[in-house]
């Protein structure tokens, strides 16, 4: 990963935002800019220099990780005198940006009165997040590794579904399999939703046992070195009803239409529309109750959003999901999700799990029974 070049790019956007400094307190952003992965740290960035203020638990780790990343940031270990160090750093700054989406009201008041009384504090939005949209080769390698682990874990677990485990068992086994395959963990709490539960897009796994005729939605991802993967597959146990079969076909077609619409320069909302129009044509516009996708990276949900209300334009190097769904109480739900890398002439799909949907009981050999 090219961590060392990120601060220079940040300084450009801070300057464009009319600020001469930025306080970065959101830890995912601190990690992106410095390589530091600790749970306490405030990164202070101005044109001439940057300082990471952390506490006694993290001094050594911060120096090591920032050194490894080749980033020019001074590490200062501080306790109660943190605000004095920050005030000294801020001398001469006029307009100091805060990450408005990550600073609480109470924090903002404290920063204004105790830390930076001489600077004007300016709300900024998405400065680091917009840099994060574009993935470098190292980041992409980690996301691909995470996606490959999730693919393989699901492939190993798929035959198990025919044995009718509970939703909770499927989720636990899938997460254990991802860890065995080298993931640091799941990238979010695995969703396994069966039967009536599948009609809720973000159902939590329950002790419900998978049953004949169920639609089953499995939404899972792996975490590798801070980077997330995200995919969803939907299955039917045994023979689908005609309406279930139609749900599976329509959502699969909508998802393919969305993937086909992805390309650098395309408005994210047009990808949403590509999925939505297929589902609307099937008469289920109201049953597609969420946006089409989201960026994936250091966060499981990050910019850009792929939705009807998104102003984002896709660019080469973005990694986004395409995940339309149809949810019909009484029949269940279907969602299909791939993560894709946006390229200049289309996209590269990073999820390779097969989209075949039917789960049959294990073949039995009459001769041995």
- Under DSSP, the state recorded for 135 is -
Q: Is 185 helix (H, G, I), strand (E, B) or coil?
A: strand
Which residue lies nearer to Zn ion by CB, 133 or 219?
219
The piece of 108-116, 244-252, 316-324, 350-358 that touches Zn ion (CB under 5 A) is: 316-324
How far apart, in whole angstroms, are the C-alpha atoms of residue 134 and residue 316?
7
Which residue lies nearer to Zn ion by CB, 25 or 205?
205
Q: Where are the alpha helices (DSSP H) in 20-114?
A: 27-34, 59-69, 82-89, 105-110
Smallest distance, Å, CB 329 to Zn ion? Answer: 21
Please answer whether residues 244 and 364 qualify as being in contact, where contact means their C-beta atoms are separated by less than 8 angstroms.
no
The piece of 142-150, 243-251, 334-342, 353-361 that touches Zn ion (CB under 5 A) is: 334-342
Which residue lies nearer to Zn ion by CB, 220 or 278?
220
The piece of 233-241, 263-271, 331-339, 350-358 that touches Zn ion (CB under 5 A) is: 331-339
Tally DSSP H helices, then E strands, for the chain: 10, 20
Binding mask 178-217 for Zn ion (x = CB under 5 A): ----------------------------------------
Tokens of 264: 């650098």
CA 62 vs. chain centroid, Å, equals 25
User: What backbone torsions phi and psi does residue 324 show, to the nearest 5 degrees?
Assistant: -70, 160
Which residue lies nearer to Zn ion by CB, 152 or 337?
337
- Please identify which residue in 129, 133, 230, 272 interacts with Zn ion, judged by CB under 5 A: 230
Smallest distance, Å, CB 219 to Zn ion? Answer: 4
Smallest distance, Å, CB 330 to Zn ion? Answer: 24
Contact between 357 and Zn ion per CB under 5 A: no
Contact between 321 and Zn ion per CB under 5 A: yes
Q: Is 139 helix (H, G, I), strand (E, B) or coil?
A: helix
Contact between 219 and Zn ion per CB under 5 A: yes
Q: Which residue, among 328, 337, 360, has the nearest Cα to 247 in the 3D structure? A: 328
Which residue lies nearer to Zn ion by CB, 25 or 333?
333
User: Residues with Cβ < 8 Å from 62, sequence gap 6 or more?
Assistant: 34, 36, 38, 41, 52, 54, 75
Smallest distance, Å, CB 188 to Zn ion? Answer: 7
Smallest distance, Å, CB 141 to Zn ion? Answer: 20
The piece of 140-148, 156-164, 218-226, 253-261 that touches Zn ion (CB under 5 A) is: 218-226
Cα 148 to Cα 176, 191, 245, 351: the distances in Å are 15, 18, 28, 7
Please answer whether residues 199 and 329 qualify as being in contact, where contact means their C-beta atoms are separated by less than 8 angstroms.
yes
The piece of 66-74, 79-87, 226-234, 306-314 that touches Zn ion (CB under 5 A) is: 226-234
Environment class of residue 209 by beta-carbon count within 10 Å: exposed (0-12), middle (13-18) or buried (19+)?
middle
Contact between 255 and Zn ion per CB under 5 A: no
Contact between 299 and Zn ion per CB under 5 A: no
Which residue lies nearer to Zn ion by CB, 144 or 337?
337
Contact between 292 and Zn ion per CB under 5 A: no
Environment class of residue 239 by beta-carbon count within 10 Å: exposed (0-12), middle (13-18) or buried (19+)?
exposed
The piece of 137-145, 223-231, 276-284, 350-358 that touches Zn ion (CB under 5 A) is: 223-231
Which residue lies nearer to Zn ion by CB, 29 or 187?
187
Which residue lies nearer to Zn ion by CB, 90 or 192?
192
Tokens of 219: 């939404």
The piece of 26-34, 83-91, 260-268, 314-322 that touches Zn ion (CB under 5 A) is: 314-322
Q: What is the DSSP string of 64-79?
A: HHHHHHT---EEEE-S
- The residues of the shown chain that bind Zn ion, judged by CB under 5 A, are 219, 230, 232, 321, 337
């Amino acid at each position: 990963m090219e961590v060392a070049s990120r601060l220079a790019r940040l300084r450009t956007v801070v300057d464009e935002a009319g600020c001469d400094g930025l306080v970065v307190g959101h830890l995912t952003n601190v990690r992106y800019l410095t390589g530091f992965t600790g749970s306490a740290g405030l990164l202070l960035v101005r044109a001439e220099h940057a300082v990471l203020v952390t506490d006694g638990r993290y001094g050594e780790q911060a120096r090591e990780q920032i050194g490894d990343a080749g980033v020019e940031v001074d590490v200062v270990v501080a306790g109660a005198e943190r605000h004095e160090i920050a005030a000294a750093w801020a001398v001469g700054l006029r307009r100091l940006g805060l990450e408005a989406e990550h600073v609480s009201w109470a924090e903002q008041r404290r920063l204004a009165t105790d830390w930076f009384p001489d600077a004007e504090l300016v709300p900024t939005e998405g400065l680091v997040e917009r840099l994060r949209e574009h993935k470098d080769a190292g980041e992409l390698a980690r996301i691909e590794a995470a996606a490959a682990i999730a693919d393989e874990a699901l492939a190993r677990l798929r035959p198990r579904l025919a044995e009718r485990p509970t939703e909770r068992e499927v989720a636990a086994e899938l997460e254990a399999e991802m860890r065995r395959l080298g993931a640091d963990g799941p990238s979010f709490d695995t969703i396994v939703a069966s039967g009536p539960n599948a009609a809720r897009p973000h159902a939590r796994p329950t002790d419900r046992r998978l049953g004949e005729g169920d639609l089953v939605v499995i939404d899972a991802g792996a975490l590798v070195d801070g980077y997330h993967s995200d995919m969803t597959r939907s299955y039917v146990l045994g023979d689908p009803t005609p309406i279930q079969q139609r749900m599976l076909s329509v959502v699969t077609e909508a998802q393919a239409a969305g993937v086909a619409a992805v390309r650098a320069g395309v408005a994210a909302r047009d990808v949403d529309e590509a999925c939505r129009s297929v589902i609307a044509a099937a008469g289920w516009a109201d049953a597609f109750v969420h946006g089409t996708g989201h960026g994936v990276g250091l966060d499981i949900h990050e910019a850009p959003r792929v939705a009807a209300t998104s102003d984002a334009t896709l660019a080469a190097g973005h990694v986004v999901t395409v995940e339309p769904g149809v949810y019909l109480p009484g029949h269940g739900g279907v969602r299909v999700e791939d993560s894709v890398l946006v390229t200049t002439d289309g996209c590269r799909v990073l999820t390779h799990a097969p989209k075949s949907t039917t789960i049959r009981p294990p073949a039995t050999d009459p001769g041995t029974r």
